[in-house]
């Protein structure tokens, strides 16, 4: 009898831990109007072999404004100014520009810098925790996305620490965040982009 009660208590505790992941995401979205963090990015194939890695900084102001600066191993800048999506490759001196809504869709950036109505674009579900973190799965409702699912992990302090982006080919991209600061003051100029002189501009 005691064993059954203990097992039931453990199951209940596990369910509560899993449920906390989606709750933490919703609380994070509601309470975080802006944020900044360092990140590392690693692309792995379906066997877990590392294909490429990068690092940099990210900032966002919701809704729709963000800035991702890749510093290693190459310089690349991605900016959302609320209306347009800009991607600048410094080595090629090339700029790609798109409408923001067309570029984002059901993408990872939409999860972080989109509106409060996150479940309009994603189906959220709780999954088994690992690495001492609480995990959830976000599946895009739209078929017009390169990702089949996005996994997100929160630590005990309700801080977002990992995002895993899984594509249709079995590859996945792991983003790890550190030194995340919620609601810091940011200059609006951080989210404006003017193509450098002489750069090739592709798109709109």
Q: Tell me how far apart the alpha carbons of residues 47 and 171 are, in angstroms, rounded to a whole number.
A: 8
164: Cβ contacts below 8 Å, ≥ 6 apart: 150, 151, 152, 172, 173, 174, 175
CA 121 from centroid of its chain's CA atoms: 14
Where do the domains of the chain lie, and which CATH numbers do they carry?
20-203 (2.50.20.10)
Q: Tell me how far apart the alpha carbons of residues 39 and 54 are, in angstroms, rounded to a whole number.
A: 9
Report the pLDDT value the prediction gives residue 6, as an integer from 0 to 100: 33
The model's pLDDT over 64-99, given as tens digits with 9 standing for 90+, comes to 899 999 998 889 999 999 899 899 999 999 999 988
Place of tokens 């989210």: 191
Report the pLDDT value the prediction gives residue 29, as an integer from 0 to 100: 83
DSSP 118: G
Query: Structure pTM?
Result: 0.81
Report the pLDDT value the prediction gives residue 15, as an integer from 0 to 100: 37
Report the pLDDT value the prediction gives residue 201, as an integer from 0 to 100: 94
Longest dimension (CA), the chain: 77
Q: Tell me how far apart the alpha carbons of residues 180 and 39 are, in angstroms, rounded to a whole number.
A: 9
The model's pLDDT over 112-148, given as tens digits with 9 standing for 90+, comes to 776 656 777 788 899 988 889 999 998 888 777 778 8
């Amino acid at each position: 009898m005691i064993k059954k009660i203990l097992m039931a208590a453990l199951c209940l505790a596990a369910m509560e831990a899993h449920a906390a992941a989606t709750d933490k995401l919703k609380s994070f979205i509601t309470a975080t109007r802006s944020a900044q963090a360092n990140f590392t990015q690693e692309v792995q194939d379906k066997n877990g072999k590392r294909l490429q890695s990068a690092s940099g900084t990210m900032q966002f102001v919701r809704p729709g404004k963000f800035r991702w600066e890749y510093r290693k191993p190459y310089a690349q800048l991605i900016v959302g100014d609320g209306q347009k999506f800009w991607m600048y490759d410094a080595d090629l001196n090339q700029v790609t520009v798109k409408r923001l809504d067309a570029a984002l869709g059901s993408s990872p950036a939409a999860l972080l810098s989109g509106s409060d109505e996150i479940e309009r674009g994603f189906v959220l579900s709780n999954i088994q925790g690992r690495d001492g973190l609480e995990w959830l799965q976000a599946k895009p409702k739209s078929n017009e996305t390169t990702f089949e699912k996005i996994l997100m992990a929160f630590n005990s302090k309700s801080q977002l620490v990992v995002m895993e982006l899984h594509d249709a080919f079995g590859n996945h991209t792991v983003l790890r965040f550190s030194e995340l600061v919620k609601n810091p003051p940011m200059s609006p100029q951080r989210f404006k982009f003017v193509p450098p002189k002489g750069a090739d501009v592709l798109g709109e």
